[in-house]
Protein backbone atom coordinates (compact mmCIF):
# COMPACT_ATOMS: atom_id res chain seq x y z
CA UNK A 1 0.00 0.00 0.00
CA UNK A 2 1.57 3.26 -1.10
CA UNK A 3 -1.18 5.52 0.08
CA UNK A 4 -3.63 5.34 2.95
CA UNK A 5 -6.94 7.00 2.35
CA UNK A 6 -8.19 9.69 4.73
CA UNK A 7 -11.54 7.90 4.61
CA UNK A 8 -9.95 4.78 6.11
CA UNK A 9 -8.96 6.77 9.18
CA UNK A 10 -12.30 8.58 9.27
CA UNK A 11 -14.31 5.36 8.98
CA UNK A 12 -12.30 3.70 11.77
CA UNK A 13 -12.89 6.68 14.04
CA UNK A 14 -16.60 6.71 13.22
CA UNK A 15 -16.79 2.98 13.83
CA UNK A 16 -15.24 3.50 17.28
CA UNK A 17 -17.57 6.45 17.86
CA UNK A 18 -14.45 8.47 18.75
CA UNK A 19 -15.08 11.36 16.39
CA UNK A 20 -17.75 13.85 15.54
CA UNK A 21 -17.74 15.53 12.13
CA UNK A 22 -18.94 19.08 12.04
CA UNK A 23 -19.18 21.71 9.35
CA UNK A 24 -17.43 24.98 10.03
CA UNK A 25 -17.37 27.66 7.36
CA UNK A 26 -17.87 25.09 4.66
CA UNK A 27 -15.09 22.83 5.92
CA UNK A 28 -15.47 19.48 7.64
CA UNK A 29 -13.83 19.52 11.05
CA UNK A 30 -13.00 16.38 13.05
CA UNK A 31 -13.68 16.67 16.76
CA UNK A 32 -12.66 14.04 19.31
CA UNK A 33 -15.59 12.54 21.16
CA UNK A 34 -15.87 10.62 24.44
CA UNK A 35 -16.82 6.96 23.94
CA UNK A 36 -19.57 6.80 26.53
CA UNK A 37 -20.15 3.09 26.01
CA UNK A 38 -16.69 2.38 27.46
CA UNK A 39 -17.00 4.20 30.77
CA UNK A 40 -18.08 1.05 32.61
CA UNK A 41 -14.58 -0.38 32.01
CA UNK A 42 -11.48 0.22 34.15
CA UNK A 43 -9.25 3.10 33.07
CA UNK A 44 -6.37 0.71 32.29
CA UNK A 45 -8.66 -1.39 30.09
CA UNK A 46 -9.88 1.68 28.26
CA UNK A 47 -6.26 2.66 27.56
CA UNK A 48 -5.48 -0.90 26.42
CA UNK A 49 -8.41 -0.81 24.03
CA UNK A 50 -7.23 2.49 22.48
CA UNK A 51 -3.67 1.14 22.25
CA UNK A 52 -4.84 -1.96 20.40
CA UNK A 53 -6.87 0.11 17.99
CA UNK A 54 -4.08 2.60 17.34
CA UNK A 55 -1.48 -0.14 16.84
CA UNK A 56 -3.91 -1.95 14.57
CA UNK A 57 -4.38 1.12 12.42
CA UNK A 58 -0.66 1.86 12.34
CA UNK A 59 0.29 -1.73 11.50
CA UNK A 60 -2.25 -1.71 8.74
CA UNK A 61 -0.97 1.47 7.13
CA UNK A 62 2.63 1.80 8.35
CA UNK A 63 4.20 1.40 4.90
CA UNK A 64 1.95 3.98 3.23
CA UNK A 65 3.93 7.05 2.20
CA UNK A 66 1.43 9.42 3.80
CA UNK A 67 1.12 7.53 7.09
CA UNK A 68 2.74 10.24 9.19
CA UNK A 69 0.12 12.84 8.30
CA UNK A 70 -2.93 10.54 8.38
CA UNK A 71 -1.61 8.68 11.40
CA UNK A 72 -1.03 12.03 13.11
CA UNK A 73 -4.67 13.06 12.61
CA UNK A 74 -5.93 9.63 13.62
CA UNK A 75 -3.67 9.60 16.69
CA UNK A 76 -4.70 13.10 17.72
CA UNK A 77 -8.42 12.27 17.63
CA UNK A 78 -7.83 8.99 19.49
CA UNK A 79 -5.70 10.68 22.13
CA UNK A 80 -8.25 13.37 22.92
CA UNK A 81 -11.14 10.94 22.66
CA UNK A 82 -9.33 8.89 25.31
CA UNK A 83 -8.96 11.90 27.64
CA UNK A 84 -12.62 12.74 27.12
CA UNK A 85 -13.75 9.18 27.77
CA UNK A 86 -11.74 9.02 31.01
CA UNK A 87 -12.97 12.48 32.00
CA UNK A 88 -16.53 11.31 31.57
CA UNK A 89 -15.86 8.13 33.52
CA UNK A 90 -14.19 9.94 36.43
CA UNK A 91 -16.38 13.01 36.29
CA UNK A 92 -13.45 15.32 35.58
CA UNK A 93 -12.74 17.93 32.95
CA UNK A 94 -10.70 16.75 29.99
CA UNK A 95 -7.63 18.66 31.19
CA UNK A 96 -7.95 17.21 34.70
CA UNK A 97 -8.21 13.70 33.27
CA UNK A 98 -5.13 14.27 31.12
CA UNK A 99 -3.07 15.73 33.97
CA UNK A 100 -4.16 13.05 36.42
CA UNK A 101 -2.11 10.43 34.58
CA UNK A 102 0.56 12.53 32.90
CA UNK A 103 4.09 11.51 33.93
CA UNK A 104 7.08 12.84 31.99
CA UNK A 105 4.94 13.44 28.90
CA UNK A 106 3.56 9.92 29.02
CA UNK A 107 0.03 8.96 29.98
CA UNK A 108 0.58 6.33 32.66
CA UNK A 109 -2.24 4.48 34.42
CA UNK A 110 -1.29 2.46 37.50
CA UNK A 111 -3.46 -0.55 38.29
CA UNK A 112 -3.41 -3.78 40.28
CA UNK A 113 -3.15 -7.04 38.38
CA UNK A 114 -5.02 -10.19 39.44
CA UNK A 115 -2.19 -11.03 41.88
CA UNK A 116 -2.45 -7.63 43.51
CA UNK A 117 0.83 -6.20 42.26
CA UNK A 118 0.96 -2.74 40.74
CA UNK A 119 1.33 -2.51 36.97
CA UNK A 120 1.35 0.46 34.64
CA UNK A 121 -0.53 0.82 31.41
CA UNK A 122 1.00 3.46 29.15
CA UNK A 123 -0.91 5.13 26.36
CA UNK A 124 0.57 4.59 22.91
CA UNK A 125 3.37 7.03 22.19
CA UNK A 126 5.17 5.30 19.36
CA UNK A 127 4.27 7.90 16.73
CA UNK A 128 3.36 7.19 13.12
CA UNK A 129 6.63 7.12 11.26
CA UNK A 130 6.51 5.44 7.91
CA UNK A 131 7.99 1.95 7.84
CA UNK A 132 9.91 1.18 4.72
CA UNK A 133 10.25 -2.56 5.05
CA UNK A 134 7.21 -4.76 4.97
CA UNK A 135 9.02 -7.13 7.29
CA UNK A 136 9.15 -4.47 10.00
CA UNK A 137 5.39 -4.01 10.01
CA UNK A 138 4.86 -7.77 10.22
CA UNK A 139 7.03 -8.02 13.31
CA UNK A 140 4.85 -5.41 15.01
CA UNK A 141 1.69 -7.39 14.49
CA UNK A 142 2.85 -10.26 16.67
CA UNK A 143 3.17 -8.56 20.08
CA UNK A 144 -0.04 -6.70 19.34
CA UNK A 145 -2.09 -9.75 20.19
CA UNK A 146 -0.56 -9.82 23.69
CA UNK A 147 -2.12 -6.47 24.45
CA UNK A 148 -5.65 -7.47 23.51
CA UNK A 149 -7.74 -6.26 26.40
CA UNK A 150 -10.78 -8.01 27.75
CA UNK A 151 -13.77 -6.76 25.86
CA UNK A 152 -16.95 -5.85 27.65
CA UNK A 153 -20.00 -8.07 27.28
CA UNK A 154 -21.57 -5.52 25.00
CA UNK A 155 -18.51 -5.32 22.79
CA UNK A 156 -18.39 -9.10 22.52
CA UNK A 157 -22.03 -9.20 21.51
CA UNK A 158 -21.52 -6.32 19.10
CA UNK A 159 -18.47 -8.00 17.57
CA UNK A 160 -20.85 -10.64 16.21
CA UNK A 161 -18.26 -13.42 16.30
CA UNK A 162 -18.95 -16.78 17.94
CA UNK A 163 -16.28 -17.41 20.58
CA UNK A 164 -16.68 -21.15 20.11
CA UNK A 165 -16.65 -21.78 16.37
CA UNK A 166 -15.57 -18.38 15.05
CA UNK A 167 -18.52 -17.93 12.72
CA UNK A 168 -20.19 -14.56 12.57
CA UNK A 169 -23.83 -13.72 12.86
CA UNK A 170 -26.40 -13.49 15.59
CA UNK A 171 -24.66 -13.83 18.94
CA UNK A 172 -26.15 -15.04 22.21
CA UNK A 173 -24.48 -14.85 25.60
CA UNK A 174 -24.15 -18.24 27.25
CA UNK A 175 -23.61 -17.87 30.98
CA UNK A 176 -22.92 -20.15 33.94
CA UNK A 177 -23.44 -19.30 37.59
CA UNK A 178 -19.95 -20.10 38.71
CA UNK A 179 -16.77 -21.51 37.31
CA UNK A 180 -15.85 -23.68 40.26
CA UNK A 181 -18.54 -26.22 39.47
CA UNK A 182 -17.45 -26.41 35.86
CA UNK A 183 -15.49 -29.33 34.45
CA UNK A 184 -13.59 -29.10 31.18
CA UNK A 185 -15.80 -31.88 29.82
CA UNK A 186 -17.19 -29.98 26.82
CA UNK A 187 -15.50 -27.61 24.40
CA UNK A 188 -17.49 -24.66 25.80
CA UNK A 189 -16.78 -25.47 29.45
CA UNK A 190 -13.11 -25.95 28.63
CA UNK A 191 -13.07 -22.56 26.91
CA UNK A 192 -14.70 -20.76 29.82
CA UNK A 193 -12.29 -22.37 32.27
CA UNK A 194 -9.32 -21.50 30.12
CA UNK A 195 -10.32 -17.84 29.93
CA UNK A 196 -11.60 -17.78 33.49
CA UNK A 197 -14.90 -16.41 32.29
CA UNK A 198 -18.47 -17.19 33.20
CA UNK A 199 -19.75 -16.08 29.83
CA UNK A 200 -19.30 -17.18 26.26
CA UNK A 201 -20.62 -15.27 23.25
CA UNK A 202 -21.91 -17.93 20.88
CA UNK A 203 -23.78 -18.24 17.59
CA UNK A 204 -27.25 -19.77 17.43
CA UNK A 205 -25.96 -23.12 16.22
CA UNK A 206 -23.38 -23.41 19.03
CA UNK A 207 -25.99 -22.28 21.54
CA UNK A 208 -28.21 -25.08 20.31
CA UNK A 209 -25.36 -27.57 20.85
CA UNK A 210 -24.77 -26.23 24.36
CA UNK A 211 -28.44 -26.43 25.29
CA UNK A 212 -28.64 -30.01 24.02
CA UNK A 213 -25.18 -30.91 25.29
CA UNK A 214 -24.08 -32.15 21.85
CA UNK A 215 -20.35 -32.39 21.45
Residues of this chain that bind Zn ion (CB under 5 A): 162, 164-165, 203, 206
Shortest approach of Zn ion to residue 206 CB, angstroms? 3
Least spacing, CB of residue 187 vs Zn ion, in Å? 10
Closest distance of CB 12 from Zn ion, Å: 27
Q: Which is nearer to Zn ion, 4 or 164 (CB)?
A: 164
Q: Which is nearer to Zn ion, 131 or 209 (CB)?
A: 209
- Between 97 and 203, name the residue whose CB sits nearer to Zn ion: 203
Shortest spacing between CB 77 and Zn ion, in angstroms: 35
What's the CA gap between 118 and 197, in Å, rounded?
23
**Contact predicate 46/89, CB 8 Å:** yes
Instruction: Choose between 165 and 179: whose C-beta lies nearer to Zn ion.
Output: 165
Beta-carbon contacts of 188 under 8 Å, excluding residues fewer than 6 positions away, are 164, 174, 200, 202, 206, 210, 215
- C-beta of 204: minimal distance to Zn ion in Å? 8
Closer to Zn ion by CB, 63 or 157: give it.
157
Amino acid sequence: MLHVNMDTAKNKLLEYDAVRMSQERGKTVWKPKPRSYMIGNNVEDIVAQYNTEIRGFYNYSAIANNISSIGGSFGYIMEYSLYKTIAQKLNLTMVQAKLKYLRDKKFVVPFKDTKGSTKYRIFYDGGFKRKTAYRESLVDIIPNTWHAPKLSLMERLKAGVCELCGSSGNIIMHQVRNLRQLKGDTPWNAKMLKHNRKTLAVCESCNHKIQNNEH
